[in-house]
Structure formats: C-alpha cells, structure tokens
Amino acid sequence: MFRLCRTTVPSIAFNRVRSFHSTNIKMAVQELKNLEEFQKAIASSKLSVIDFHATWCGPCKAIAPKVQQFSEEFTDAAFYKIDVDEVPDVASKCEIKAMPTIQFYKDGKKIQEVVGANVGAIQQAVTANI
C-alpha cells in the first residue's frame, strides 16, 4: 500500500562564531622595558603616567585594576608601567624608593608624583594635569 516516507534530518548543531567590534577604543597600560622606551614615553606633550611597580608588591597589585580603568577613562593621557626589578636603571634614575610610585610627566619633565596606593590622589593628579 502506502510506504512511509521518512526524511532523515541530520542533527548537526550550527556553531557560528560571531565577532563583535566595539566602537570604544580601550587604552591599555603599556609596559616599558628599558631606558630608551621610558625617555620616548615621557617626551610627549601629552600627559604620561608612569606606574612604578614590582611583582611582589601587594599594594601595586591592588591598584593595578584602577590604573587600567584610568587608562580607559582618561584617553588624553598615556599610561605606562615599569617593573622596578626588570628595569632597575630607570627606577634608580627616577629615584624610586617605595612602591607603588606613580609619576606624571609632560614634555620630558616630572610634574607630579604619588607614592603609595592612593587611588584618589592618582585620579586627582591625572585630572589636574590633562
């Protein structure tokens, strides 16, 4: 009589990769690896914020996310970090005695410094010098 027609549908899950492109440009905190990179970074007329830190420093680790946030929020400034153990010549030249120390530069000149994990003082220094 009538045959049953069966249609077999493969059970393949479609896995499409979607790419998302944000229009917001997030600035990253750039790691400076030597004296030449440091000198180039601070020579700008744009505010340069230098975070002197160490991998073993607890307060440095505590403020790192805020420094990253500031780099995304204050795009008129350039944010950098220097590991004092990896680049001791720059740390010595900048007379770093405690960590974290955040120094602020414009046109190659140090204009301000915050010693310690004082997030409010860092934010105030950035806004005052942009």
State the catalytic residues.
Answer: 57, 60
Q: How far from chain centre, in Å, is Cα 106?
A: 18
Q: Are 84 and 99 in contact (CB under 8 A)?
A: yes
In angstroms, the first-to-last Cα distance of the chain is 87
Q: Sort strands 109-115 and 101-106 into parallel, antiparallel or unpaired.
A: antiparallel
Cα dist from 53 to 1, 4, 42, 105, whole Å = 84, 75, 17, 17
Whole-angstrom Cα distance, residue 94 to residue 39?
Answer: 11
Q: Are 43 and 82 in contact (CB under 8 A)?
A: no
